[in-house]
Structure 1
Amino acid sequence: MTDIVCIGSVLWDVIGRSPVVMRQGSDVPGRITRLPGGVAMNIAMALVRFGMRPAVLTAIGRDAEGDELIAACERLGVDTALAYRSDDLPTDRYMAVEGANGLIAAIADAHSLELSGSKILAPLTDGRLGDVDTPYEGLIALDGNLTLALLQQIASDPAFAHADLRVAPASPGKAERLLPFLRHPRAVLYVNLEEAGLLCKSDFPDAATAAQGLTSRGAARVLVTDGGNPAAESGPNGILTATPPQVLVTRVTGAGDTFMAAHIAAERAGITGAPALHRALTAAATYVAGENPA
C-alpha cells in the first residue's frame, strides 16, 4: 500500500520563528514549535498532502520522544512500520531560528541516524520491500543526512538498481555527500543554487547555469531552485526554466522538501516537463507563504 519510500531523517523539529528581521545576537519575541521533521519526514508529509502514501526508512529511538514521534507520524498519514527502532540511541532532533529575513541559524542532530547505518535499509533486502532476486522497483526519496559511506553503498547496491531515485541534500553543509549520485543513471537530484555550486565546486549566477553545469558533470537529471528567482530543470530534453510566484515569506524550513514532493507527485500523476516544474514551484511558494499546499 506504499507509493514511495522516503529514506533518511525523521526527527523532532524545534523551530523558533519571529516576524521581525533578526541578526546575530538578536533576542526577540516569537513562537517556538515542536513538530515531526527531518528531510525524509518533510518530504513524506508533503507527499501525503498531495495524495500519496509514503513509508519511511529511518532510525527512531525507543525512548519517550521516539514513541511520541511514531504516534505523530501515524496521525499524519506517514507509515513508520518499517522504521528501525534503536534500543540504545536517542531520537534525533533539529533546531532552527527563523526571522522575517529567513533562516538565521540551525543545528541538525542526526547522530542516531548516522550511527544506525545500513540497519535502516533492511526492508529493501529482507523481502519486506525487495530482496536480491527481486529488487524494489518503485519510487525512493533519499536525503543526504545519511553518512557518505552509506550513500556510496546505496549508489552501487543492486537492491537500488531498479528504483526511481529522487535525491536531495539535507543542507548545503551536506551537499557534497551526494557526489556518489552525480553520475548515477537513475538518480534525479533536487538541489538549490548554493548546493549545486558545492557539488560542482563552482559559483553559478543562476539556476539554469547550475543545472547545465551539473548535467555536464554527468548528472542524468537535476532540478535547481534559487528561492524566489527562476528555477531550472536539466535532463535528456534540455533545459527548462520557470519563475515561482511572488509571496510574502513566513517560513523557510521545509520549502525545498515541499518542492521536491510536489514535483514527484506531479510526475506520479502523469504531469511532466514545464507543467510539473510550475506545479512544484507553486506548491513551494504556497508553503513559504504559511499555507499547506494540496
Structure 2
Amino acid sequence: MTKPDILCIGSVLWDIIGRSPSAMRLGSDVPGRITRLPGGVAMNIAMTLARFGLQPAALTAIGRDAEGDELVAACQRMGVDTSFAYRSDDLPTDRYMAVEGANGLIAAVADAHSLETAGDRILRPLADGRLGSATAPWAGQVALDGNLTEALLSDIAASPLFAAADLRVAPASPGKAERLRPLLAHPGTTLYVNLEEANLLSRAGAATAAEAAEALLARGAQRVLVTDGGRPAAEGTQGKGVIIGKPPEVLVTRVTGAGDTFMAAHLVAERRGAPREAALQAALQAAATYVSGDVGT
C-alpha cells in the first residue's frame, strides 16, 4: 500500500447545499439549485490536496449504509484514500446542510454525530502500525478539523501518536473554535482560523486579522493564519512576527469550503518551498478562485 502524503482527520460526509443568486433573509423562499457532493472539513481539504497532485488519506467515520458506500466510491474517484476510515455497522453516514444566497451563508446544520460517537476509533491506524505507533509516531503532515470532540482533541494534543506530527488545524465553524484551545500548546500546530474564530480562541476582540494573529501568538500559539473575508489576512509565527496578505477582489458565488481550500493551498505552497509571503498569497488566490466558482468542487 502506498504511504499517504498527508492525513486528513475529521469529517467526511455528504454536503447538501442549496444556493440561490438572490439575497435571502429569514423566511425567504426563492429559486436556486440544490447539490449533494462529498464534503466535510477533512474531505474538502483532502479534495483540494488531491487536485494539487498529493495523495491524501482520510481518517474518519463512514457508515456501512448505502450513503456511506456511495461516499467511499466518490472519494476514490476524487483521489482521496478512505481505506483507513472507520466503517461502522450501526452509525449512519454524516451529513451537512447549508443554504447560501447572494449575501452569503444564510444557515447551516452539521450532523456529524457519527464522527463524534466513533471517537478515538478513527485514530486506530496511527496506533496499530498501519500508519504509526506510540513508539514510531506519524512524522508527516496532518490536517485536523474541529468536528472532533473536545475530549478527543485534548487527547490528540497530548498523545505520543502525534508527538512528531506537523499539525494543520481548522476549527470547522466558529461554534467549535474553542475546542481547539488544548492544541495551542502543541509545538507542531499551525492554526487556520477566521477573525471570529480567532477572537473566540484568544478572547481579545481584535478588529483585524493581524491583531488577531498577534493575540493568538501572545496566548502561546506557535503559528496561526487568520482570514477575514475580502479584507487582509495575516500569518503569524512565534519569533518571526506577523505578515499580511490582501485577497484578490472577486465576485463571490459560494462560501462553503473556502476556508478549507485556503488551508490546503497554503499547505501545498509550503511543501513546494514557498516562503511565508508567497505561501500566504497562493492560499488567498486559491480561495478567491474557489469562491468565484472558477474551480469545481
TM-score class, shorter-chain normalisation, is: over 0.9
The equivalent of 1:69 in structure 2 is: 71
The equivalent of 2:280 in structure 1 is: 277
In the alignment, structure 1 residue 41 sits paired with structure 2 residue 65:
no
Distance 2:204 2:29 in 1: 36
The equivalent of 2:228 in structure 1 is: 226
Distance 1:223 1:51 in 2: 23
Distance 1:182 1:203 in 2: 18
Tell me the amino acid that sits aligned with residue 188 of structure 2: R
The equivalent of 1:111 in structure 2 is: 113
Distance 1:44 1:292 in 2: 15
Distance 1:183 1:137 in 2: 18
Distance 1:153 1:33 in 2: 36
Residue aligned with 2:251, SS: coil
8 Å CA contact retained: 1:283, 1:293: no
Stretch deviating more after TM superposition (231-240 or 118-127): 231-240
- The correspondence for 1:88, drawn from 87, 90, 96, is 90
The equivalent of 1:99 in structure 2 is: 101
Residue aligned with 2:185, SS: coil
The equivalent of 2:81 in structure 1 is: 79
Aligned-pair RMSD on alpha carbons?
1.0
8 Å CA contact retained: 1:222, 1:233: yes
The equivalent of 2:163 in structure 1 is: 161
8 Å CA contact retained: 1:49, 1:293: no
User: How many residues matched?
Assistant: 294
Distance 2:294 2:64 in 1: 33
- The correspondence for 1:206, drawn from 183, 205, 208, is 208
In the alignment, structure 1 residue 6 sits paired with structure 2 residue 23:
no
- Alignment gaps of 5+ in structure 1: none
Distance 2:52 2:289 in 1: 13
8 Å CA contact retained: 2:49, 2:265: yes
- The correspondence for 1:243, drawn from 243, 246, 265, is 246
Tell me the amino acid that sits aligned with residue 288 of structure 2: A
8 Å CA contact retained: 1:58, 1:84: yes
Distance 1:53 1:186 in 2: 21
Residue aligned with 2:225, SS: strand
The equivalent of 2:124 in structure 1 is: 122
In the alignment, structure 1 residue 262 sits paired with structure 2 residue 277:
no
TM-score, L = length of structure 2: 0.98
The equivalent of 2:151 in structure 1 is: 149
Residue aligned with 2:25, SS: coil
8 Å CA contact retained: 1:197, 1:203: yes
Deviations along 1:213-236, whole A, 9 cap, x unmatched?
Answer: 000000000000000000000003
Q: Say if 1:140 and 1:272 are closer, same or farther in 2 by CA, change over 3 A.
A: same
Deviation at 1:149, TM superposition (A): 0.3
Distance 1:202 1:101 in 2: 28
8 Å CA contact retained: 1:8, 1:145: yes
The equivalent of 2:180 in structure 1 is: 178
Residue aligned with 2:179, SS: helix
TM-score, L = length of structure 1: 0.99
8 Å CA contact retained: 2:63, 2:88: yes
- The correspondence for 2:62, drawn from 52, 57, 60, is 60
Residue aligned with 2:46, SS: helix
Distance 2:263 2:154 in 1: 22
Deviation at 1:179, TM superposition (A): 0.4
Identity %: 71
Distance 1:28 1:203 in 2: 36
8 Å CA contact retained: 2:157, 2:185: no
